[in-house]
Amino acid sequence: MEFIRRLPLKSISIILSVVLSILAIISAGFAIEKTDFLKVKNLTIEGNNHLKNMEILKLLNVNGKNLITLDEELLSRRLQASPWTKSVILRKELPGTLIIKIKEKDPVAILKKGNDEYYLDTMGTLLDKTGSNALILPVITLDTSNKEVMDEALKLSIALIKNEQTRGRMVEIKGTKPEDLAIRINSTLVLIGFGEYEQKIASYLSLKDEIAKRNMPVEYIDVRFANRLIVKTLKQES
């Protein structure tokens, strides 16, 4: 108190003004936080095909929260916790609407583990279990601990999806190492090997119609080697 008495009247007035301003700001912030007018009442969710709305609501946890004071960066991090989420855009619209635009990762293969099947993205991340209405994607059945062969199997799967004739077909990808990669398509075993997957798929497609015309019982087709295609029939090799 002795210190305040020694201060000039003008200084005391300035200090009181600052204190009152701070109190007013705190009071206004508290009033905004508590007002029902600005609470989140509507959620607009766009771009989610695999991530369900209920999962998004659970991740966000914004029910009854004040729209103005919501931390958009925190909400974005919550949504990124889902393996399906590639990117998120959040937008607030007063008085009480939160718009969420999600870009999901694209599944490029299905991994078979025991009796379960999981969607995989381009990096080999497990996205989710497949449901009863699973997408038709190449199914990988190999040792997931071998990263090198898994990476190549994913590249092969992407090449199969890109090709109009193999997209949407039931294909199994297997192998113990990259040079042993093979696919089973239409009950036919095709030895693919390492690299140049789009070219090798095209080579297989150039043969399959001719084989079908001749009604040849095929054990396997080998497209692993440049400038040489091998068709191994059940009786002879040609």
28 DSSP 8-state letter:
H
What is the strand order of the sheet 109-113 is part of? 126-129, 116-120, 109-113, 139-140, 171-174, 182-185, 188-191, 218-225, 228-233
Please report, in tens digits, the pLDDT of each residue of the chain (238 residues total): 444 455 465 555 555 555 445 544 444 454 444 556 568 788 888 998 888 888 888 888 877 788 888 888 888 998 998 999 999 998 887 777 888 999 999 999 999 988 899 999 999 999 999 987 889 999 999 888 889 999 999 999 999 999 999 998 999 999 999 999 999 998 889 999 998 999 999 988 888 877 777 777 888 889 998 778 888 877 654 4
Longest dimension (CA), the chain: 112
Q: Whole-model pTM?
A: 0.74
3-state secondary structure of 188: strand
Six token digits for residue 174: 């297997």
Contact 29, 22 (CB under 8 A): no
Element (H, E) at 206: helix 197-214
